[in-house]
Chain A
């Protein structure tokens, strides 16, 4: 118990801190590094929760595979120099922070009101996890959840096809301004991608 407690209170602040550092970091590669730290600490939290398989998978897939893709893309695009980020909508950042805090508060409230902050494993967890966590996972995944498992393979297939189709594009991107000139200008729409964040829902 005590070990759980110590590990949790070491990892949780690091994880949150690295997540915040990632957001504040202007340099894309540094941000990616903070994300890796974050993924790592989350993996350790999985371990604390008694899911060693998930711990390993988190490191292998997220920290190992997906972050390599991130770094590749960062290098590929050469987004190396520190980007000058101009906010088009005033108050967007404040609104985003407020709404984000709102979500956090809501979740904390919902959990607190409902189960309370649990200090022990849920009932039956030990039994379900019996014979080793990977084995238990295998039993569930390949019996009760075999249909989602098979559906995952279709998802993977579509993902592979998607990667190929999107990467095969062989044309030079036209400058955005050029493109805008060709299209009718709409008076009512700012039509910028940054817009939706403002309405980030509280849920």
Chain B
């Protein structure tokens, strides 16, 4: 590696970093606007044209606000908790290919920060790290509401992590590789969302829960927990939690795009061949984010026990059965030929659907039976 390589690497990382920051600033505005639109309001209008600078203004305000460290807080942990919650959000994005790449000064610059050979596992590892920011924030604040919120939300996150991992596994069975670029490459004919629609749905739901977004924003349920784990945070530290949360949303949407929607793939003209994939990628990510915002505007918050029941009693068994069904559909044709297997697969699918229906029915009935007690 010579100095040019280093320079290109640094430039790549810096550009991605600031684009991510910028995207968060935009995303906050987009979310407020879209939700306002869905509720026939106007939303933020003052800062900048159509209020586009509103989140920047928020950020600047938070930056200059007095930072309060509660008297009973555990100071070192209280200080590192926001950083810990922000880091994995950035790092998870590192393995996502957001374009094909470009040749600059005779060197190939991939549009991806790092193409790890354990790509998907890296994503999973980072998402399991996200729990820490929340747990530590809640514990170190030395106050009851944050503690309750953090315990709750970490329980929620680990519950949905299993479901998320199962969705990832079924994608892997199609691509046969953990590397993100190869997962995108494997989708050259059909996007994974077609054969793996259930896994896609599982992933989206688990992603909502992992990022603590509505309707799974229990950790911040303001009616019962004030503001959840970051109740005692203020100023720039609070801004970091906010940033981490929206970064996570972007990352989850980007991962869903890469794994299920063909990543940067899309029809495009030969002209400016490096630009179009990026545009496609952005469009797909925006579509998923729009869906998330839509869900937020539509669904009320889950009750906590239902949230946990949904994760454990529906998502996990369904994911497990789906993984096995995917395996059967891919492996069995190699052994027995296609036709009987297609019929068998249809049967399996029917059984799976039936089972999943039964499951949710079962869960619901048990709940209604036990609720009065």
Instruction: List the interface of chain A (C-beta within 8 A of B).
Output: 27, 29-30, 33, 36, 52-53, 55-57, 59-60, 63-65, 68, 71-72, 75, 132-134
Contact = CB atoms under 8 A, between A and B. Distances in A.
B338 to A, nearest CB: 25
Q: Which of A57, A59, A60, A65 has the most CB of B within 10 A?
A: A60
A56 B121 contact: yes
A176 B247 CA distance: 50
B116 interface: yes
B177 A132 contact: yes
A90 to B, nearest CB: 33
B118 A59 contact: no
B17 interface: no
Contacts of A52: 116-118
Given A56-B125, A65-B128, A71 B139 contact: yes
A35 to B, nearest CB: 12
Contacts of B178: 132, 134
B177 A57 contact: no
Contact of A57 (B121, B132, B136, B147): B121
Contacts of B116: 52
B74 interface: yes
B314 interface: no
30 contacts: A29-B74, A29-B139, A29-B140, A30-B76, A30-B77, A33-B77, A33-B136, A36-B132, A52-B118, A55-B118, A56-B118, A56-B121, A59-B125, A60-B121, A60-B125, A63-B128, A63-B129, A64-B125, A64-B128, A64-B161, A65-B128, A65-B158, A68-B131, A68-B135, A71-B135, A75-B147, A132-B117, A132-B178, A134-B117, A134-B118
Interface string B69-90: 0000010110000000000000
A60 B124 contact: yes
B154 interface: yes
Q: Is the interface of A mostly helix, strand, loop or mixed?
A: helix
Given A29-B74, A68-B135, A71-B135, A53 B151 contact: no
A36 B117 CA distance: 24
Nearest to A27: B74
Contact of A56 (B77, B122, B177): B122
Given A71-B139, A75-B151, A59 B77 contact: no
Given A30-B77, A68-B135, A71-B139, 18 more contacts: A27-B74, A29-B136, A29-B139, A52-B118, A53-B121, A56-B124, A56-B125, A60-B121, A63-B128, A64-B125, A64-B128, A64-B161, A65-B128, A68-B154, A71-B135, A72-B151, A133-B117, A134-B117
Contact of B129 (A27, A29, A64): A64
A147 to B, nearest CB: 20
Contacts of A65: 128, 158
A34 to B, nearest CB: 12
Nearest to A131: B177
B139 A75 contact: yes
Nearest to B155: A72
Contacts of B118: 52-53, 55-56, 133-134
A182 B145 CA distance: 41
Nearest to B124: A60
Nearest to A132: B117
